[in-house]
Amino acid sequence: MKIYSAIVGNLHAPEWAERAAEADIETVELDQWTAQKSRFVAPGDRGSEYAVALERHSQLLDGDILEYDADANRMVALRIRLNDVLVADLGELASERPEEIIHIALELGHAIGNQHWPAVVKGTKVYVPLTVDKKVMDSVMRTHRIEHVHCSFQPGSEVIPYLAPHEIRRLFGGANHENETEHHHHHAHA
CA atoms of 119 and 170, how far apart (whole Å): 8
Residue 51: the pLDDT is 96
| Segment (H or E) for 152 | strand 150-155
Shared domain check, 94 and 73: no
Shared domain check, 108 and 74: no
Q: Measured between alpha carbons, how far is residue 12 from residues 61, 77, 186 in Å?
A: 10, 11, 17
Residue 88: the pLDDT is 96
**Residue 56 placed within a domain:** yes
**What is the CATH number for 40?**
2.60.260.20
Shared domain check, 114 and 69: no
**Residue 187 placed within a domain:** no
The per-residue pLDDT for range 171-189, each reduced to its tens digit, is 887 443 333 333 334 444 4
The per-residue pLDDT for range 22-31, each reduced to its tens digit, is 999 999 999 8
Shared domain check, 152 and 124: yes
SS3 124: coil
**What is the CATH number for 125?**
3.30.70
Shared domain check, 168 and 88: yes
**Residue 179 placed within a domain:** no
Domain that holds residue 147: 84-174
The per-residue pLDDT for range 55-104, each reduced to its tens digit, is 887 878 889 999 999 999 999 999 988 889 999 999 999 899 999 999 99
